[in-house]
Amino acid sequence: MNVEMSPLEAGCLGTRSSYCPPQMPELDYKPGSLEDFDRLYRSSYNRVLYTLYGMLGDRAAAEDCTHDAFVRAFRAWKTWKPDAPAEAWLHRIAINVAYTFARRRRLGEIGQLVRRLGKPAPAADPVEVAETSDVFRALSKLPHEQAAVIMLRHHHGYTNREIAFALGAPESTIASRLAKAKKRLREELNWSEAPSNVVTRPDKAVVLEDGGQG
């Protein structure tokens, strides 16, 4: 039986292990070591940034939160326990920073709405809109905790257990949150699947899989 392990399960990010994909450096971190934290920063910065971008849908905000998260993580680095993967621990801090940021932003938006009182909202930056893909537009409409599980599972390949650690929630909660997130994402994307190999999205041309032409 071939049991596939994710890099996190294999321990690549937290402890020394012989099972690590070639693109992922074998890392063994020591809590409190400045050199190890620098390595963690170099290996995780872009990954954490991308997770937060998926949650917040705003690159500048994601960068601010990522910086903040690394500062907090650095202060708490001595307390990190090697039994938990370092990157998942980092994600936990970063996602909490993003939640706080999103709450403040929502409050700010309510304030703006009250001040505008009936005037139209300012238009979004057209360049940013053009650069944002459908997935990210749809993700930005999901609750932040749902967007976070989508990013951790479908980009980073975390298992439910790893996501549970990163989000500080029970695995059963993660499973149901993931199911809800995917359902909501399909609705936002107007995704429907035909019974055959034809995948259709009402707002797009028909996409034929397995080399078909749409």
Partner 1 sequence: MGDKFDNWLDGELAKGYMRFGPGPLPAGAPYGSRERLRSTALATKVVVVLAAIALALAATTAIAAAAATGSANPLVWGQYMQSVVTTCKGQLQSGQHGIGKCVSAAARQKGAQERNQHSNGQGHGRTSPGQTVSPRSTP
Length of the chain: 214
Pick one of 70, 80, 158, 165: the residue that binds partner 1 (CB under 8 A). 70
Answer yes or no whether residue 46 interacts with partner 1 by CB under 8 A. Answer: yes
CB of 48 to partner 1, least distance (A): 11
Q: Residue 50 forms beta bridges with which residues?
A: none
Number of amino acids touching partner 1 (CB under 8 A): 36
Contact in structure between 95 and 162 (CB atoms under 8 Å): no
For 45-55, letters b (16+ CB in 10 Å) and e give: bebbbbbbbbb
Instruction: For residue 136, give the nearest of 202, 50, 47, 48 by alpha carbon.
Output: 50
With contacts defined by CB under 8 A, name the span among 90-98, 103-111, 115-123, 132-140 that binds partner 1: 132-140
**Ramachandran angles phi, psi of 143, nearest 5°:** -60, 145
Nearer to partner 1, 27 or 73 (CB): 73
- Please choose, from the candidates 141, 64, 59, 142, the residue with its C-alpha nearest in 3D space to the C-alpha of residue 100: 64
**Window contacting partner 1 (CB under 8 A); options: 16-24, 48-56, 87-95, 114-122:** 48-56
Asked if 103 touches partner 1 (CB under 8 A), the answer is no
Site for partner 1 in 152-171 (CB under 8 A): 154-155
* 136: contact with partner 1 by CB under 8 A: yes
| Cβ atoms of residues 33 and 125 within 8 Å | no
Q: By CB under 8 A, name the binding residues for partner 1.
A: 37-38, 41-42, 45-47, 49-50, 53-54, 59, 63, 67-68, 70-71, 73-75, 131, 133-136, 150-151, 154-155, 182, 185-186, 191, 193, 199, 209
